[in-house]
Structure 1
Amino acid sequence: MQVRRFAALALDEVPALAQDILREIRAEYPGLPVVLDESGEPMALIGIRRALEGFVQQIAAAEGGRPRYPLEVFQEFGRGEGLHGRSLDSLQAIYRLGVRLAWRRLAEIGQQIEIPPPAMYELAESGFEYLDGLVDQSVRGYAEAAARQEGERLRLQRKLMELLLSERRGDPGQGPPADIGHGSGARSGSGRPGVRSALDERAARVGWQLPERVAVGVLLRPARDAVAPAVGQGVLLDMETEQPRMVVPDPEAAGRPELLRRAMAGWSGAIGPPVPLADAAKSLRWAEAAVRLMERGLLPSGEVLHCTEYTEALVLLQPEELIEDLARRCLAPLAHCGPAHGRRLAETLLAWLETRGGAPEVAARLGVHPQTVRYRLRQIRELWGDEVDDPDRRFELELVLRARRLRGELGRVG
């Protein structure tokens, strides 16, 4: 009977108690926004009142059971904290303050009707359990808001990357950027005014400051469910494509390469050359080319490569049809040699073209006897004649032979 009487008195106190609690909370947290419902009543006041009523009604129930929480109100509180960029810690602190104030008044009612201390302890325990349930509802609302915000941020980020990488994509047939491997600091034009304006707008919406230079990476997933690499907030990352892409701002800044190396542990792929922001699509094109070569086993796999460290392979192996056509013409004299002998002659010719030395220097490079080199060089003279003295022909021969060595068709020497 005492519990029933306690509940009845407490319910009578709920409206005034809710007002007192809200007043104390506002005094303690003056920056707390006031959100009104359709009738103009503060949502916080409605939540406090419903929470108090729910707790008291739970106590008054003839049989125990799971408490009923004002779900929508406290989930909305949690969503509000998330949408306004505040932490759940502040919300939980407000809950604790409210419970302390509420329990002070409820304890006075318990003393008034002489409820024994053990029974009051049980009520206090129920109160804190009830608080945990309210916090759970707010955490759920907070998580929903955070997920929604993160989804929207990623959507806007993908839109920014799409504009950055596709609107001014260069001609696929042109060569590598002029500054590949040189890291020039010159700033290019910013592209069409309309595109630049759109970039400014989209970058501002995701809080990304437009850099002067970028490098674009293409990644190969270590597993289909691989967790996104922790590349940091400044790096744009799109995990929605089959081969994730990233845009690295100011890639030559001090410490940036090392940070990326640690973040990309366990991943493989390629990062294109640093280019002016307006040429981001060019960097992407070379990163894609490097990844294709990795997939064919022509570049090292199992790590994230920097295109600037593999310029020779990208230049010589990319235009494959052109190089092969040039190779057929330049290496036609080897057509009548056996495969093994033709390979030895090709390796000797390349070593001679690279060193421009005599038989001893070429022999040292190949690891054979100088007399063997002299014999092969005589054969080369017989096969190519005066062409090996023509600078243009020598350049073409070295080009196609280097390409074959990169593909593993010739042995690596030196």
Structure 2
Amino acid sequence: MEASSAWRDVPRQRIQRFAGRALEEVPRLAQDILAAIRREYPSLVFIDDDSGEPKALVAIRHALEQFVQQMTRGSDRPSALPEMFRDFGRGEVAHGRSLDSLQGIYRLGVRLSWRRMAEIGREAEIPSLAMYELAEYAFEYLDVMVAQSVRGYAEAIARQAGERLRLQRLLIDLLLSEHRSDRSAFLADRAADVGWQLPERVAVAVLLRPTVEAVAPAVGDEVLLDMEGERPRLVVPEPDAPGRAELLHRAVTGWSGAIGPSVPVAEAAASLRWAETAVRMIEQGVLPRGRLLHSAEHVEALVLLPAGELVDDLARRRLARLDESGGPAHAQRLAETLLAWLETRGGAPEVAERLGVHPQTVRYRLRQLRELWGDDLDDPDRRFELELVLRLRRLRGDIAPAPG
């Protein structure tokens, strides 16, 4: 209250009389307020303290006593209230409620309290202007109660969110770990701990942070997200569900990464392996950055490049005859023609169109290839091996892709 307020001008004797009478009323007033709250909010459950009294009744009584004591001292602003008002905020979180009902309870309590205070003020001959100031102080006091509860509510929400994140990371680790036994029941229990329904199929994505401070993708509660590691991981339930892919791509706009194939939930680790392989290739510059790649769309690179040493050994044996063809440039042209022929299995016109050269040129090269490999070109196994090693060379950039 201001130093020049009407309340401060009230003789001290009257204020003491008012305060004494108000404190006498506190026990009965607290009971009346609690009874009104029970009528107004019949579904609320009131917990008793160690002495057997409802905690709410104790809090109402303390709040009333502290209000009277603070206004008697002439405090300019209501000071902090007991810790129990934070507990009420925390309790709303525990019961899954918002603060709306709690604030309504506080307003109800202040309204009933003020009616009684106004009666006592008339008995103690407190001037009207002073009582108006006291009413303003009462509503400031209400703000303090609400602020205490909001703080407790926020603390509980933060703890709850932190605990859910911890349990969610544990669930992700369990899903993505290799295991031999059937852990469906165990996984279902852990999923229930975070309110996640265990799906039949999942796909796992691995992301590359665009910046250190990048905000987590807004993927929604259905997708499990672990942002703790250097490479964030996502577990996407039922990835083939209508609209799921579109929503996921929209959520990770601006991020690079890869998503593994859709697999049964018990095989999530396999999806993770393919996603991690693709991400390594993104980092190496083999696959493009700037979007979420689907591993299934890059099977050739994912299968051939990691097996490079094996395919290189096969290439040395199967492509050695190219060294007999006349020089590096000519060998390169023959390799491109052989791959185009293997992929099209067409005649000279089809291969020529694919390579962007004259059909006569292709006929000449095909004759040379037949001279080099002979009947091997008619053997399905040999043709497969040749195509395999030539495709790897193209992935590496040793063979130019066909025009267009």
Instruction: Tell me, yes or no, whether TM beats 0.5.
Output: yes
After the TM superposition, which residues 39-58 of structure 1 pair with which residues of structure 2 at under 5 Å, given as runs?
Answer: 39-58=51-70
Q: Which has the larger radius of gyration?
A: 2
1:300 maps to 2:288? yes
CA distance in 2, matches of 1:5, 1:347: 105
How far apart are residue 374 of structure 1 and its match? 3.1
After the TM superposition, which residues 8-407 of structure 1 pair with which residues of structure 2 at under 5 Å, given as runs?
Answer: 8-62=20-74, 64-168=75-179, 192-193=181-182, 195-335=183-323, 338-407=327-396
The answer (yes or no) to whether the contact 2:78–2:137 under 8 Å persists in 1 is: no
CA distance in 2, matches of 1:127, 1:217: 55
CA distance in 2, matches of 1:29, 1:135: 18
1:217-270 deviation digits (Å, cap 9, x = unpaired):
112122222222122222222222221112111111122112212222222211
Letter in 2 for 1:137: Q
How far apart are residue 291 of structure 1 and its match? 1.2
CA distance in 1, matches of 2:264, 2:210: 30
Change (3 A) 1:28 1:362: same
CA distance in 2, matches of 1:101, 1:372: 100
CA distance in 2, matches of 1:110, 1:55: 15
Q: Partner residue of 1:185?
A: none
CA distance in 1, matches of 2:329, 2:162: 59
CA distance in 2, matches of 1:60, 1:326: 95
Helix, strand or coil at the partner of 1:397: helix
CA distance in 2, matches of 1:18, 1:338: 101
Change (3 A) 1:102 1:335: farther
1:116-169 deviation digits (Å, cap 9, x = unpaired):
33322221221111211111111111111111111222222222222222142x
CA distance in 2, matches of 1:54, 1:268: 58
How far apart are residue 328 of structure 1 and its match? 2.7
Letter in 1 for 2:80: Y
The answer (yes or no) to whether the contact 2:240–2:262 under 8 Å persists in 1 is: yes
RMSD over aligned CA atoms reads 2.1
CA distance in 2, matches of 1:372, 1:13: 109
Q: Partner residue of 1:174?
A: none
CA distance in 1, matches of 2:332, 2:111: 87
How far apart are residue 329 of structure 1 and its match? 2.5
Q: Bigger CA drift: 238-247 or 370-379?
A: 370-379
Helix, strand or coil at the partner of 2:205: strand
CA distance in 1, matches of 2:56, 2:164: 29
How far apart are residue 78 of structure 1 and its match? 0.9
The answer (yes or no) to whether the contact 1:76–1:141 under 8 Å persists in 2 is: yes
CA distance in 1, matches of 2:102, 2:25: 24
Helix, strand or coil at the partner of 2:83: helix
CA distance in 1, matches of 2:378, 2:337: 16
Q: Bigger CA drift: 377-386 or 117-126?
A: 377-386
Helix, strand or coil at the partner of 1:368: coil
How far apart are residue 395 of structure 1 and its match? 1.0
The answer (yes or no) to whether the contact 2:78–2:140 under 8 Å persists in 1 is: no
Helix, strand or coil at the partner of 1:305: strand
Identity %: 69
Helix, strand or coil at the partner of 2:198: coil
Helix, strand or coil at the partner of 2:215: coil
How far apart are residue 311 of structure 1 and its match? 2.2
How far apart are residue 302 of structure 1 and its match? 0.9
CA distance in 2, matches of 1:315, 1:377: 29
CA distance in 1, matches of 2:284, 2:319: 24
Change (3 A) 1:397 1:67: same
CA distance in 2, matches of 1:234, 1:127: 45
The answer (yes or no) to whether the contact 2:79–2:144 under 8 Å persists in 1 is: no
Letter in 1 for 2:233: R
The answer (yes or no) to whether the contact 2:81–2:144 under 8 Å persists in 1 is: no
Q: TM-score, normalised by structure 1?
A: 0.88
1:320-367 deviation digits (Å, cap 9, x = unpaired):
222222223222234476554433322221111111222222111111
CA distance in 2, matches of 1:405, 1:113: 98
Question: Tell me, which stretches of 5 or more residues in structure 1 are unaligned?
Answer: 169-190
CA distance in 2, matches of 1:210, 1:115: 67
Q: Tell me how many residue pairs correspond in the alignment.
A: 390
Letter in 1 for 2:352: A
Helix, strand or coil at the partner of 1:262: helix
How far apart are residue 77 of structure 1 and its match? 0.9
Letter in 1 for 2:265: L
CA distance in 2, matches of 1:325, 1:27: 84
1:35-61 deviation digits (Å, cap 9, x = unpaired):
222222221112111211222222111
Change (3 A) 1:36 1:362: same
Helix, strand or coil at the partner of 1:310: helix
CA distance in 2, matches of 1:245, 1:24: 51
Letter in 2 for 1:49: R
Letter in 2 for 1:164: L
The answer (yes or no) to whether the contact 2:89–2:152 under 8 Å persists in 1 is: yes
How far apart are residue 66 of structure 1 and its match? 4.2
Q: Partner residue of 1:179?
A: none
